Chain A
Amino acid sequence: MEKTIRYGVGSVSRAIQGQKVLQRNGFRAFVHRASGKAAGGCGHTLWVTVENEFRRAQAERLLSAAGIRFTVQAGDGV
């Protein structure tokens, strides 16, 4: 079952970088602005749609390999 994971990233540049890396690997990924204390103020999130846990792990490996630090802000069980 598809679910959308929201990853908090350090900047809009990193969000765009992550979006491009994931899109090149067949993921649906979108950049959204986020704000609030959880985001450390203003920031950007990357919304990634995954089909299963394997794809989720793959997406996270791709982000890490690109040097993008992220936190999972929402999505578990979404």
Chain B
Amino acid sequence: MIYLDNAATTYPKPPSVLAAVVRGLEKCGNHGRGGHTLSLAAAEELWTARETAARLFGLDNPARAVFCENCTMALNMALKGLLSGGGHAVCSDVEHNAVMRPLHALSVSGVAAFSVAETDPENEEKTVENFRRAITPDTTVLCCTACSNVTGAGLPIRALGALARERNLAFVVDGAQAAGTLPLSMKRDNIDFLCLPGHKGLYGPMGTGLLLCGDRYPLCTWMEGGTGSQSLSYYPPEELPDRLECGTLNLPGICGLRAGMEFVEKRGIEAIAAAKRREMAPVVEQLAENPRVTLCSAPLSPQNAPLVTFTVAGVPSERVAEALAAAGVAVRAGYHCAPAAHAKCDTLDAGAVRVSPSVFTDGRQITAFLKIFDEIDKKGLQ
């Protein structure tokens, strides 16, 4: 199989990730629940994973790295933890449903309101100005993705972080597509909550994620339960990470995520992104020459995630993906859980096809993919 659906989940995983998952199962118990060797080994593993995440994303205190199941959970924890007492949020017009649905749920239940700021991929200042204009006296949160999962277009995170700091707003960033591909630093970019998936650009297993918390805003808990600490109290602990990490964690998965983050750290985020841009360049070149194809993705530049999204005139995106799958190529079609971004691209009718590489994608795979696409296109996609 030629796997080009890495923006959904990277595949394959580095061998070190597989080995780490096995190590987690073999060598670790339940952290914090006992004083025995297996339990302490788990606590050590978790702490090292927290330190790795803190290094990779410019977080001052590793104790503020909270593990969870995925980026969606991290975003729910941040948004509902900040807005459960009311307030107003501003998000962008390219958000994934992981942001839109929690904000919508808060809005329809009358708890908190939100507004959408228009982004301009070609004019960062205009994007920031639109966010500024959407801020009201009730606004407490700015939330946006670091880059669109549909087009790859990067948002001006540093400038938006500066705006949030200037207006004393909590800045929540969805790093789902950017983590491991675009440089993100909580410190440099003034990010208060950075939400990350483990299974995409960090090369970890599915079912792992991180909520990295700055120290300016406490979060209300979204779930309460056992933490192995302060167990005579019915209140959750005040301190992170225990406050937001109740119940047993996915320790084997987190061991794998740590190995994935170390893999990314060793290769370097900029080197990884440059390699992916190189692999995607011929895809852009060939598809741009095809009169039936319309490219929707942002240019291959260091500001954007290196992926290619396109439509084929008169053909539903799922039909294109189905034909490619039958020929052994895995891509993602449809709406990518981001209707707002598709509305912006004018692709709400038939969705779009997304081609996304990983560090393991090579030139031979890309050449083969382009040949296969050319053949099925010439045969006549209906």
Q: A interface vs B, CB < 8 Å?
A: 10-17, 20, 31-33, 35, 37, 40-44, 66-67, 69
Tell me if A33 and B34 are in contact (CB < 8 A): yes
Closest A residue, CB atoms, query B239 = A10
Q: Is B209 an interface residue (CB 8 A)?
A: no
18 A-B residue pairs with CB within 8 Å: A10-B239, A11-B227, A12-B31, A12-B40, A13-B241, A14-B63, A15-B43, A31-B40, A35-B231, A40-B231, A41-B230, A41-B231, A41-B233, A42-B228, A42-B229, A43-B229, A43-B230, A44-B229
Q: Which of B43, B61, B227 contacts A67 (CB 8 A)?
A: B61
Report Cα–Cα, A15/B42, bound state, in Å.
Answer: 13
Tell me if B227 and A16 are in contact (CB < 8 A): no
Q: B interface vs A, CB < 8 Å?
A: 31-32, 34-35, 39-40, 43-44, 46-47, 50, 61-63, 227-233, 237-239, 241-242
- Residues in A whose Cβ lies below 8 Å from that of B231: 35, 40-43
Tell me if B63 and A17 are in contact (CB < 8 A): yes
Tell me if B61 and A13 are in contact (CB < 8 A): no
Tell me if B237 and A12 are in contact (CB < 8 A): no
Given contacts A31-B40, A69-B239, contact A17 B62 (CB under 8 A): yes
- Residues in A whose Cβ lies below 8 Å from that of B238: 10
- Residues in A whose Cβ lies below 8 Å from that of B242: 10-11, 13
A-B contact count (CB 8 A): 72
CB of B41, distance to nearest CB on chain A (Å): 11
Report Cα–Cα, A43/B231, bound state, in Å.
Answer: 8
Tell me if A44 and B32 are in contact (CB < 8 A): yes
CB of A52, distance to nearest CB on chain B (Å): 29
- Residues in B whose Cβ lies below 8 Å from that of A14: 63, 239
Q: Which of A10, A15, A67 has the most CB of B within 10 A?
A: A10
- Residues in B whose Cβ lies below 8 Å from that of A33: 34-35, 39
- Residues in B whose Cβ lies below 8 Å from that of A40: 229-233
- Residues in A whose Cβ lies below 8 Å from that of B239: 10-11, 14, 69
Tell me if B232 and A41 are in contact (CB < 8 A): yes
- Residues in B whose Cβ lies below 8 Å from that of A16: 43-44, 46-47
- Residues in B whose Cβ lies below 8 Å from that of A31: 40, 43
Report Cα–Cα, A31/B228, bound state, in Å.
Answer: 14
Extra 14 A-B pairs, beta carbons < 8 Å, given A10-B229, A41-B231, A41-B233: A10-B237, A10-B239, A12-B39, A13-B50, A13-B242, A16-B46, A32-B35, A33-B35, A37-B232, A40-B230, A40-B231, A40-B232, A42-B231, A44-B32
CB of B340, distance to nearest CB on chain A (Å): 37
Report Cα–Cα, A31/B230, bound state, in Å.
Answer: 16
Q: Which of A10, A13, A20, A69 has the most CB of B within 10 A?
A: A13
Report Cα–Cα, A10/B63, bound state, in Å.
Answer: 11
Report Cα–Cα, A11/B43, bound state, in Å.
Answer: 10
Closest B residue, CB atoms, query A34 = B35
Tell me if A11 and B233 are in contact (CB < 8 A): no
User: What 10 A-B pairs have minimum CB-CB distances, sorted nearest first?
Assistant: A33-B35, A41-B231, A41-B232, A12-B32, A16-B47, A10-B239, A11-B242, A42-B231, A40-B230, A11-B229
Report Cα–Cα, A55/B357, bound state, in Å.
Answer: 53
